[in-house]
Structure formats: structure tokens, C-alpha cells
Amino acid sequence: MLEIKNLHVTVGGKEILHGINLSLDEGQVHAVMGPNGSGKSTLAYVLAGRDGYEVTRGEIVFDGKDLNAMTPEERAHAGVFLAFQYPVEIPGVSGLNFLKSALNEVRKGRGESELDAVEFLKLMRERVSELKMDEALLKRPVNVGFSGGEKKRNEILQMSLLEPRLAVLDETDSGLDIDALRIVAEGVNSLRSPKRAMLVITHYQRLLSYIVPDKVHILAGGKIIAEGGKELALELEEKGYAMFGVTDEAA
């Protein structure tokens, strides 16, 4: 489903990713772990198509298409979803209006009919209660005045509404207390499906006891330096990034 081949990415004139290879099949959940500054968010952004993240070599093939040639919205329509490490606040745009617009644009993009206000509200309420979110939050402008945990839950809510084919979760666990982490993980797990793949980016092993990955990739200095099964995450937790000869200032 997703094939990243020898991917080199430059940001602001500086090469950050130096030849990433990663392939992800339908139904799988892979974890990408790495110390701060190793290029995890860069990988996430380049998958979602952020301006300024330039692919200088290699390719990203998604469902047989060249992802790099697509705009961010085309990627969203094709089923790519990024849960942001730092969700954006958008004053002046109501959460509900935003969610409805996004959902209907994605549905249009997928050739599905748009939902009317009633259908949308019904679906939204269902998902909001699954994530144990306060519905009143969505009447506010997007993410404005939300706590860190509320913002992360809002990202997962968007994912559950948009039902992506490929979900990239960038440090969705950071800043969450254990209860919030469990709720978010349940939300993510409930979206696991044979038709969907997930790339779970995290700094710590903690999240991976809730979302058990099929495979773990260790990213350091813009390169994948190790790969393995879920045990690799546990080993990393025990020994730290030093086991790869890498320092991690945040550990």
C-alpha cells in the first residue's frame, strides 16, 4: 500500500532524511521510533505534502500512485491522514463547521455523497462519545482553548470521521496522561482494519503497549538504523537509544 524508497528530503536547504526505505501493507500498523530531531515529523509532513519539504531523491508510492506529485488535499482525498504532533489552533473557524467541511470534501473526493447537517451531527456525536470528548468543545473555534490532551483527541476524532486508508500519527501520545492515552489508543485500535494501515510515530515505548505494532522502525539522524518486531520497542525502552550508539537529549 505504501512504499517509501530511498527517500531523501530537504527542508530549508538542509537534507533531513537521507534515504528512507519503508513499506507498509494493508491492515498493518508500523511504529517509527526515534530520538528528538531524528526526522520523524519530517517524514510525517512529507507524507502529507507540506510545502517546503522537498523530495530530492527517491519516491513515495501510495496505492500505486506517486504521492509526491499530489497536493495535500488530493492526498487527503486518496486516504492519507496525518495526526499532527502540534495540532493547529484556528481562531474564527468553528470546530463543527470545520469537521463538516472536511468530511464532505473528503467524501466528494472519494466519489461519495455529501452528508447533510442531520446525518453529519449523528455521525459526529457517535464518534465524539466513543472518544469521551465534550461535545461543547466543537462549538468553539478549532483547538482554541483546548488542553493538550483535548487537542490530541480532536486529531483522533478527525481521523475517525475521515476514515483514512493510511493514518500517520505523529507523537499522538506526547503530553497525554495515562487515561487520555488509553482513550486515544482505544480510538486508534477501533480503527484498525484490514483495509487500513497506520504509521505510529512515537518517542517512547509507552504507546506501543496499547497499540501493538506489527513492525518497529528506528529512525535516527534521518536514517532507519534498525527494524524489528514489537520486541524491539521493549528492548529500546530498557536500554535506551544508546543501544544504537545514538544520544537522545530528551531521554
Partner 1 sequence: MAQATDISRAYADQFARLRATLPGAKDPKLSALREGALARFAKAGVPTPRLEDWKYTRLGALLDGAFEPSSPVVNGIGEDAIDALSPALAGGPRLVFVNGLLRADLCCLDGLPAGMRVESLGAAPADLAEALADRDADALWSLNGALARDGAIVTVAKDAGEGDPLHIVHLARPGAGGEASHTRHMIRIEPGAAATVVESFFGPDGAAYWSNAACLIRVGRDARLRHFRRQQEGAAGLHRTAVRVELDAGAAYESFGLFLGGAIGRDEISVRFAGEGASCTLDGIYLGRGTQHLDCTTRVFHAVPRCTSHETYRGVLDDKAHGVFQGLIRVEKQAQKTDAHMLSKTLLLSDRAAVDAKPELEILADDVQCSHGATTGDLDPASLFFLRSRGLPEARARAMLVEAFITQMVEGIGPDAVRADFTAAASAWSAGGLGGGMTGGRA
Can you give the binding site for partner 1, defined by CB under 8 A?
48-51, 71-73, 75-77, 81-82, 84, 87-88, 90-93, 98, 101-103, 105-106, 109, 141, 158, 162
Closer residue to ligand ADP (CB): 40 or 75: 40
Closer residue to Mg ion (CB): 41 or 154: 41
Closer residue to Mg ion (CB): 40 or 151: 40
Shortest approach of partner 1 to residue 50 CB, angstroms?
5
Please work out the total of residues on this chain that contact Mg ion, with binding judged by CB under 5 A.
3
Give the one entry of partner 1, Mg ion, ligand ADP, none that residue 178 binds, where binding means its C-beta sits below a cut-off of 5 to 8 angstroms depending on kind: none
Of 54-62, 80-88, 95-103, 126-134, the segment contacting Mg ion by CB under 5 A is 80-88
Give the residue nearest to Mg ion (CB): 41
By CB under 5 A, tell whether 41 contacts Mg ion: yes
Shortest approach of ligand ADP to residue 12 CB, angstroms?
3
Closer residue to partner 1 (CB): 75 or 153: 75
Binding site for ligand ADP (CB under 6 A): 11-12, 14, 16, 34, 36-42
**Running DSSP on this structure, what letter comes out for residue 195?**
T
Give the one entry of ligand ADP, Mg ion, partner 1, none that residue 39 binds, where binding means its C-beta sits below a cut-off of 5 to 8 angstroms depending on kind: ligand ADP
Hey, what's the cell of 208? 506501543
Parallel, antiparallel, or unpaired: how do β-strands 80-83 and 166-170 relate? Answer: parallel
Helix (H) or strand (E) holding 199: strand 197-202
Q: Render 87-144 in DSSP notation, one character per residue.
A: PPPEEEEEHHHHHHHHHHHHHHHTTPPPP-HHHHHHHHHHHHHHTT--GGGGGSEETT
Give the one entry of partner 1, Mg ion, ligand ADP, none that residue 37 binds, where binding means its C-beta sits below a cut-off of 5 to 8 angstroms depending on kind: ligand ADP
- How far out from the chain centre does Cα 112 lie? 24
Region at 115 (left for phi over 0; alpha for psi -120 to 50; beta for the rest): beta
Alpha helices in 204-247 (DSSP H): 231-239
Within a 13 Å sphere around the CA of 123, how many CA atoms are in the beta-carbon half? Answer: 19
Q: Mapping DSSP to helix (H, G, I), strand (E, B) and coil, where does residue 216 land? A: strand
Task: Give the interface with Mg ion as residue ranges (CB under 5 A).
Answer: 40-41, 85
